[in-house]
Structure 1
Amino acid sequence: MLTKVGNNVCGRFLLKNVNSLVPCNTFIKLKHTKDDVNAHRAKVMGRGLPEKKPLPGVKSIILVASGKGGVGKTTTAVNLACAMKVIEPDKEIGLLDADVFGPSVPLMMNISGEPMLNDDHLIEPLLNYGHVHGLLVSGENAVVWRGLMVMQALERLTRHVAWAPLDCLVVDTPPGTGDTHLSLAQSLPIDGALVVTTPQSAALQVTKRGVNMFDKLKVPIIGMVENMSHATCIECGARNHMFGNETRKSAEQMGLDIIESFEADQNMSDCINSGKPAIYALPDSIHAEKYRKLANKVFKYIETKGKERAEASKQ
């Protein structure tokens, strides 16, 4: 227990015995103020955190995240990256598969094989559809890793890859709120995050956890992307909200805008299985048009962030 004596704090330590707690007669006087203690605590908490520094040659980093798996997060990341390249062909866009536990990007991007090292001992990312892609674990292998191993893998996928030059790196993160998100936010200057969800209550509830996590990590959220919002009957054209219709209400509660909403479509599953993103396989579809709109919004967001940084540097 702790007792206060004047301006000093005395601590009586309890020694744990098998049968009882035995008070110890040892007292320690701490001649520090509360501010000193808080400063020391902050210093200790800061130990071991990686230094946040940019990736050489990478101008902007955007995370695509979801609280729950199976909501179309990777589909969003892949088609966003492709759409950004389509509407701005002169821009260099990268795609990083940071979901080391269940990499889906290789399937969706029709990528296979192991990356090679260049003369600078950096991983040369695999390339398809004009995008670079860092892949450490093959899609066939299951991964059982602890937090430290995840951090080491992310270090390789970020710092040991020949990314440059890139105007934007789109990062597909794992579902949930784990070591991957913490490591990325603590080591890289993240410009913003897109949170992906579906209308189910379970998905929306865990999305709130993800939003809280990004708030604590001081990662700005660009907005919410809603997948499988409804299905349209091919016979009569009626909309069926098979997963409910609570996304807008939840987004308002979280203070977020739904910047794009996608309905369920069998053609999207066909694109995933064939390894050809919808933005290329179905360029005239509603989904492709919406992905181009989403890409435009992300570009505008990045441009705004760049202006804000420029203004801040002048002050």
Structure 2
Amino acid sequence: MTDSLLHYCQTLRSDTFVHGFLPEWIQVRGPVIELTLPFYAETEARKLIATDDFLNAYTWHIHGKVEALPRKTDAKAVSSRNIIAVTSGKGGVGKSSVTVSLALALQASGARVGILDADIFGPSIPTMLGNKQAKPEFTEDKKMLPIERFGLQVNSLGYLTDEEDATVWRGPMASRALEQLCFDTRWHNLDYLLIDMPPGTGDIQLTLAQKLPVTGAVIVTTPQEVALADAQKGIAMFRKVGVPVFGLVENMSYYSCGACQHKDYIFGRDGGKNLAERHSIPLLGEWPLVTDMREHLDAGTPLVQSSPEHPVSQEIITTAERMAANAWQLSSPNAPND
């Protein structure tokens, strides 16, 4: 019975669990099934189980034990099992809001998550988290302790400079400052560190991709052609330096009217989907442009943290768990090859 049950669990599949629940993840104890995932995706796992009456009759205990995925071996170590660069080919596509939302969604799923705000010329993470006045503490060996906010570990140049000051640095100086921000922060036993990268594909982005111990990247775009062209350059850049692309998030896919929920595809339609298919990378999510999202970020209370049951928050959680699953599927030596 146990062998047949393990086999049956592999037949239950979704965009997050493309090979079902693998036998090595499962322990069966009578009416109880223990599911230990190598990434955090409990919400999506329970949705999948609920679609099957046979499996739904069992009591499921679901845990996450995040696997450390391969990364560049010649880069300095950081106390995080996985480091994911969130990047865009151009500014204005909502990369920072996507970074904050993904981090909070992973944290809500049970993961230990940090954010490194590497958008050095426009650090907006402190504003979105509502703690612009926070300052990091320093240890005796002059290492920075990350700021704690909503269960996240965070560091940003925005915590170290006056918010009205302009950062006027040439490329090499900016790159060195960001390396220091990453390696001189005392991150504590993270499962995922998300790096909010500067927009573009120039010298700074290339240096960071090569020198930081990045596990993989997520590309953020909007549906219109001008953004897609730059997102394509971002995909090419990471592939050239040997960093896997875990997927693409299409932000502002459509405007959703708060009164009638009518969808207006103001920036075009299916741009992200077509780009992902053309480059054989997963489309992780298509997020709408909604007033609630903007209002909560401006207030420093991100939607996924303050209103987790909001439909957009649920879409964000699905995207984050799909990202974690795809990272494992694409990079883990323990993932099925087919």
Counterpart in 2 of 1:98? 118
> Percent of pairs identical after alignment?
35
| Counterpart residue number, 1:123 | 144
Q: Distance in 2 between matches of 1:300 and 1:240?
A: 30
Q: Which protein has the larger Cα radius of gyration, Structure 1 or Structure 2? A: 1
Deviation at 1:294, TM superposition (A): 1.6
| Aligned counterpart in structure 2 of residue 231 of structure 1, from 246, 255, 262 | 255
Q: Give 2:201's aligned residue.
A: 177
1:200 paired residue number: 224
In structure 2, what is the equivalent of residue 164 of structure 1?
Answer: 188
**Higher deviation after alignment, 211-220 or 292-301:** 292-301
Hey, what's the Cα distance between the residues in 2 that align with 1:252 and 1:71?
20
Structure 1 equivalent of residue 80 of structure 2: 58
Secondary structure (helix, strand or coil) at the match of 1:224 reads strand
TM-score, structure 2 as length reference: 0.72
Q: Which runs of 5+ in 1 are unaligned?
A: 1-49
Quote the offset at 1:232 in angstroms: 3.0
1:22-37 maps to which residues of 2 (within 5 A)?
Answer: none
Q: Normalising to structure 1: TM-score of the pair?
A: 0.77
Bigger Cα displacement from structure 2, 150-159 vs 297-306: 297-306
1:70 counterpart letter in structure 2: G
Shift of 1:187: 1.4
In the TM superposition, residue 235 of structure 1 has moved relative to its aligned partner by: 5.2
Q: Give the secondary-structure state (helix, strand or coil) at the position aligned to 1:223.
A: strand
Equivalent in the alignment of 2:302: 277
Question: How many Å apart are 1:305 and its aligned residue?
Answer: 5.7
2:108 alignment partner AA: V
Instruction: Tell me, yes or no, if structure 1 residue 133 matches structure 2 residue 158.
Output: no
Residue 125 of structure 1: how far off its partner (Å): 1.3
Give the SS at the match of 2:316. helix
Q: Take 1:243 and 1:305, find their aligned partners in 2: how far apart are those partners? A: 30
Which runs of 5 or more structure 2 residues have no equivalent in the other structure? 1-71
Q: For structure 1, which segment, 110-119 or 213-222, has the greater mean C-alpha deviation from structure 2 after superposition?
A: 110-119
User: Could you say if the C-alpha distance between residues 305 and 224 of structure 1 is closer, same or farther in structure 2, counting changes exceeding 3 Å?
Assistant: closer
| Structure 1 residue corresponding to 2:176, chosen from 152, 168, 171 | 152
- Choose the corresponding residue for 2:211, options 146, 169, 187: 187
CA distance in 2, matches of 1:186, 1:268: 33
Q: Are the aligned partners of 1:52 and 1:188 in contact in 2 as well (CA < 8 Å)?
A: no
Cα offset, 1:236, TM superposition? 4.8
Matched, 1:78 2:103: no
Task: Tell me which residue corresponds to 2:267.
Answer: 243
- Shift in CA distance, 304/256, structure 1 to aligned 2, threshold 3 Å: closer
Take 2:220 and 2:243, find their aligned partners in 1: how far apart are those partners? 15
Equivalent pair of 2:284/2:323 in contact (CA under 8 Å): no
Q: Deviations over 1:182-236 (max 9, x none)?
A: 2222112311111011111111111111111111111111111011111234555
Distance 1:210 1:55 in 2: 24
Q: Distance in 2 between matches of 1:51 and 1:301?
A: 21
Q: Is this contact kept in 2: 1:67–1:207, CA < 8 A? A: yes
The letter of the residue matching 1:92 is: R
Question: Alignment length, in residue pairs?
Answer: 260
1:113 and 1:227 map into 2 onto residues whose CA distance is 29
Instruction: Report Cα offsets for 1:164-188 as digits up to 9, x if no partner.
Output: 3111101101111123322222112
Q: Counterpart of 2:212 in structure 1: which amino acid?
A: L
Q: Mean alpha-carbon deviation: is it higher for 101-110 or for 255-264?
A: 255-264
